[in-house]
Amino acid sequence: MTQYLELVCPAGSPAALRAAIEAGADTVYCSYNDRTNARNYPGLNFDVEEMAEGVEYAHKKGCKVLIAINTFPPAGQMKDWQAAVDNAAAAGADAIILADLGVLDYATRTHPNLRRHLSVQASASSSLSINFFRDQFDVKRVVLPRVLSVEEVAKAVEETGLEIEVFAYGSVGPMSEGRCFLSSYMTGLSPTSEGACAPASHVSYKEDGDQVLSCLGDVVLNRVSKNEPAAYPTPCKARYVTRGNASYLFEEPTALNAMDILAELKKAGVTALKIEGRQRSRAYVSEVVGAFRKAVDALAEGDRATSDLSSISEGKKQTTGAYKKGWR
């Protein structure tokens, strides 16, 4: 089986969309600038007109566009999500990426011909779950949660018959995504319905002697010395104290980098590699997409390309995350 690894790249803005395409993206994914997506941060994303222009531009360059509408509408407020689905269809998106059962149901009934992908936010972590979404909503592709090993990824490919997309680079999400209420526990704003985990409006840094405290809401998530870089205070990358020891209990502030195991992922049968980071700068997108373009092309030639991305990684550290068994 000749198999091409599709490179799916983040476009948090029209500028990032052009940068990603320039750097070699096969596909970009983006969102509308409201709470219908899981990266609802100020200044990011596309309005309806920009999206239509973005799709047109990408298509001219031979690049596909996926639109993520992957948060969970609160009761009585489904209209915004339905409008996003309608707008994505009108813009000519190649697919929409969904998570909520109600939104999936709406899209399936209203726009049966608009391709549906299942978002990582749907937390479909077994073939049984994936096949439910396949059978009920005819999803064509699933973005797997960042909690599976390479062996489990291979099983998902084999047992579902669907296109499988996996994360290749970016944030590590140790929790089952779409079902984590830690940020709202601390801020009152729900990532599941408002689309922002650890929103900047609730982040603060306070000096305390020769240390800096990173806070989310009123909660101190870390304490570092002034000359240490303070990682962004996300609840799952905070330092907590258990049994008298302070540690990064959930996950170190580190970046997922699967570049060294691309051959294994390809062998597992994945269709697409996703690069996380719609909230990142255009320069970051260019650098990461460029490096992965080279690596994927080298792999297609039977070679192996690696590139040192550690300087732009979160905490300057990298991990292969759950792909390797020892992570758990």
Residues 71 to 130 in contact with another protein, rule: CB under 8 A: 72-78, 100-106, 122-129
Q: Pick from 3, 4, 110, 179 the residue near another protein by CB under 8 A.
A: 179
The pattern of x and - marking residues 128 through 147 that bind another protein according to CB under 8 A reads: xx-xxx-xx----------x
Q: Which stretch binds another protein (CB under 8 A): 4-12, 33-41, 220-228, 271-279?
A: 220-228
- Residue 219 engages another protein in binding (rule: CB under 8 A): yes
Nearer to another protein, 11 or 221 (CB): 221
Query: 7-66: which residues touch another protein (CB under 8 A)?
Result: none
- Residue 322 engages another protein in binding (rule: CB under 8 A): yes
With a CB cutoff of 8 Å and minimum separation 6, the contacts of 21 are 28, 57, 58, 61, 63
- Residue 234 engages another protein in binding (rule: CB under 8 A): no
- Residue 232 engages another protein in binding (rule: CB under 8 A): no
Query: 236-275: which residues touch another protein (CB under 8 A)?
Result: 236, 239-243, 245-247, 249-251
Q: Pick from 6, 26, 94, 152 the residue near another protein by CB under 8 A.
A: 152
- Residue 188 engages another protein in binding (rule: CB under 8 A): yes
DSSP string, 268-302: HT--EEEE--TTS-HHHHHHHHHHHHHHHHHHHTT
Contact between 130 and 162 under an 8 Å Cβ cutoff? The reply is yes
Cα distances (angstroms) measured from residue 246 to each of 158, 223, 252: 41, 10, 12
- Give the C-alpha separation, 10 to 292, whole Å: 13
Torsion of CA 114, 119, 123, 128, to 10 degrees: 40
> Which residue has tokens 């709406």?
106
Q: Pick from 222, 234, 286, 313 the residue near another protein by CB under 8 A.
A: 222
